[in-house]
């Protein structure tokens, strides 16, 4: 079949066998089109556009056209979408200049003639850069800098605050732009090249950093001992990011800050009296008002020093003491002997044990303010002194002490029996020995010029038994 006239046609099929026949008709089965021969009207739409924008162009329908082919020349101007009477051009931003838009009707027979061309111009769209985030600035300063991460030459950048122009316009340099310090507000930047405009990414928020509020009085003990370490705390005041602590006087102790809201004071053992502790809130701009003063009574911790005999005989009873302080209590600890009287007071009596060796005495003193201090351990050498054949030698003196090249040994009175004066070093080794004849003078000069400096025991013996001894220091 050949159709010479366009239109829509039915198709009928008849089947015959002998005298029988049957017919089937399919309505509108064949559509006959003729080629599009008429050009559409010139497209209507924007003749000046910016890169990256979407732009609609329209035309009038023509006979025989089922769809429409849109075209931009050159193709680098952008890309068309749509096959109807409206085409949408997405403009390129990598090319700019003059271009044309045209359209042709089309059907199954092909495309018809193009419309007259619409002359257009494509302008560069400013590239969208990002603002640096804003920030806080100190009260009284000019503000915080507003910056754009990059810029284009040939483009102007205008700064807006809270939607209103600031009047600050900077020319693009191809590098970062700085609009300078700006006060509190929300900032945006709009770029233009005279034809196209773009708003930069981001909003920069500037704000004032206020002075911290006054800090509250520190929390912690107001009565301490000067051999203690105590801890104090404080809350961050409004707008304070950290705390500044002040201890006065400076010689009261050493202050450290182990964490954000805590101060630790190691009190100076040589200081007693009233100390003052203050704290302030601070931020990067200001230090706030000081807190009310916390007055701290720093009490002297006792430093007892034991006095008494360092050399004793087994079974001997001796007295030991420390300086008495009104209101203090004393707890004594003794090794090598037994306290027979005075526990709880500043002086005690000790009966030393029956075995030779080394004993010790120490005491803990606690004042009425609750401060406690321990004495140094006071060593006592316990020796067997039995078999004394001459009671008059029970006490001796040495002088000068410390001694230089020699020292004088003074007896209580002349000996009725011969004795020996021995010097032993700290290891117990005999390093010097002098005979003291019976009925000799009570003072004897002992030469120690050959001995090294150090501590020595001076012993007086009769028949090999120690009857008295003292300590001597050789300079």
Query: What is the per-residue pLDDT across 223-271, written as a single tens digit (0 to 9) for each?
Result: 999 999 999 999 999 999 999 999 999 999 999 999 999 999 999 999 9
Q: State the CB neighbour count (10 A cutoff) for residue 302.
A: 23
Are the CB atoms for 385 and 315 separated by under 8 Å?
Answer: no
Instruction: Give Cα 283 distance to the centre of its chain.
Output: 15
Write out the residue limits of the CATH 2.60.40.10 domain(s) in the chain. Answer: 48-123, 136-209, 311-383
Give the count of alpha carbons within 13 A of 375, CB side only. 23
Residue 443 β-bridge partners: 410
Comparing C-alpha atoms, which of 219, 182, 230 is closest to residue 371? Answer: 230
Give the count of alpha carbons within 13 A of 136, CB side only. 11
Are the CB atoms for 213 and 280 separated by under 8 Å?
Answer: no
Torsions phi, psi of 148, nearest 5? -110, 135
pLDDT for 242 equals 97
Write out the residue limits of the CATH 2.60.40.1080 domain(s) in the chain. Answer: 223-299
Please state the pTM of the whole predicted model.
0.58
Q: State the CB neighbour count (10 A cutoff) for residue 51.
A: 21
Q: What residue has token string 């039995």?
A: 386
pLDDT for 385 equals 65
User: Quick one: CA dihedral 126, 132, 133, 136, positive or negative?
Assistant: negative
pLDDT for 86 equals 98
Q: What is the dihedral of CA 193, 198, 200, 203, to 10 degrees?
A: 130
Query: Residue 407: which residues within 8 A CB-CB, separation 6 or more?
Result: 398, 399, 400, 401, 445, 446, 448, 472
Residue 397 β-bridge partners: 410
pLDDT for 387 equals 40
Are the CB atoms for 262 and 231 separated by under 8 Å?
Answer: yes
pLDDT for 411 equals 86
Tokens found for residue 203? 């909003």
Q: What CATH superfamily classification does 311-383 receive? A: Immunoglobulins (2.60.40.10)
Alpha carbon distance 242, 336 (integer Å): 56
Q: State the CB neighbour count (10 A cutoff) for residue 36.
A: 22
Q: What residue has token string 């939607």?
A: 163
Query: Residue 392: which residues within 8 A CB-CB, separation 6 or more?
Result: 411, 412, 413, 414, 415, 416
DSSP 140: T
Q: Does residue 310 sit in helix, strand or coil?
A: coil
Q: What CATH architecture applies to the domain 391-474?
A: Sandwich (2.60)
Q: What angle do CA 267, 270, 275 make, to 5 degrees?
A: 50
Alpha carbon distance 348, 439 (integer Å): 38
CATH number belonging to domain 223-299: 2.60.40.1080
Alpha carbon distance 72, 46 (integer Å): 13
User: Quick one: CA dihedral 206, 211, 216, 217, positive or negative?
Assistant: positive
Region class of 463: left (phi > 0), else alpha (psi between -120 and 50), else beta: left
Question: Which regions of the chain are under pLDDT 70?
Answer: 385-395
CATH number belonging to domain 136-209: 2.60.40.10
CATH number belonging to domain 48-123: 2.60.40.10
Comparing C-alpha atoms, which of 228, 128, 146 is closest to residue 187? Answer: 146
Are the CB atoms for 364 and 373 separated by under 8 Å?
Answer: yes
């Amino acid at each position: 079949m050949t159709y010479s006239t366009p239109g829509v046609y039915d198709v009928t099929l008849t089947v015959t066998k002998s005298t029988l026949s049957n017919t089937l008709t399919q309505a509108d089965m064949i559509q006959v089109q003729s080629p599009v021969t008429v050009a559409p009207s010139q497209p209507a739409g924007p003749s000046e556009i910016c890169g990256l924008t979407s732009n609609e162009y329209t035309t009038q329908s023509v006979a025989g056209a089922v769809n429409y082919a849109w075209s931009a020349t050159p193709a680098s101007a952008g890309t068309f979408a749509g096959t109807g009477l409206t085409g949408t051009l997405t403009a390129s931003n990598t090319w700019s200049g003059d271009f044309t838009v045209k359209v042709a009707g089309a059907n199954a027979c092909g495309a018809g003639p193009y419309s007259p061309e619409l002359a257009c111009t494509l302008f560069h769209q400013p590239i969208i850069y990002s603002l640096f985030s804003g920030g806080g600035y100190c009260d009284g300063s000019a503000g915080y800098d507003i910056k754009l991460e990059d810029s284009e030459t040939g483009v102007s950048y205008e700064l807006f605050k809270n939607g209103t122009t600031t009047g600050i316009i900077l020319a693009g340099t191809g590098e970062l732009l700085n609009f300078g310090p700006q006060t509190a507000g929300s900032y945006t930047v709009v770029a233009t090249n005279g034809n196209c405009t773009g708003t930069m990414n981001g909003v920069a928020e500037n704000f004032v950093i206020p002075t911290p509020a006054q800090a509250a009085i520190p929390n912690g003990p107001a009565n301490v001992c000067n051999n203690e370490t105590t801890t104090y705390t404080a809350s961050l005041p409004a707008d304070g990011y950290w705390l500044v602590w002040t201890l006065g006087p400076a010689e009261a102790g050493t202050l450290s800050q182990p964490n954000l809201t805590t101060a630790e004071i190691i009190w100076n053992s040589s200081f007693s009296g009233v100390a003052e502790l203050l704290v302030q809130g601070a931020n990067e701009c200001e230090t706030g008002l000081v807190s009310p003063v916390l007055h701290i009574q720093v009490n002297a911790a006792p430093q007892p020093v034991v006095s008494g005999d360092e050399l004793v005989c087994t079974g001997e009873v001796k007295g030991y003491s420390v300086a008495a302080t009104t209101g203090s209590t004393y707890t004594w600890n003794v090794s090598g002997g037994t306290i027979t009287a005075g526990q709880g007071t500043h002086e005690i009596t000790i009966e030393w044990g029956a075995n030779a060796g080394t004993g010790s005495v120490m005491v803990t003193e606690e004042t009425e303010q609750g401060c406690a201090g321990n004495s140094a351990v006071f060593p006592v050498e316990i020796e067997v002194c039995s078999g004394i054949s001459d009671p008059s030698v029970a006490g001796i003196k040495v002088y000068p002490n410390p001694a230089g090249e020699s020292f004088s040994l003074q007896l209580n009175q002349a000996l009725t029996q011969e004795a020996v004066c021995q010097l032993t070093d700290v290891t117990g080794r005999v390093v010097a020995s002098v005979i003291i004849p019976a009925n000799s003078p009570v003072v004897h000069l002992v030469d120690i010029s050959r001995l090294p400096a150090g501590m020595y025991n001076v012993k007086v013996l009769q028949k090999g038994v120690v009857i008295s001894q003292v300590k001597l220091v050789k300079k």
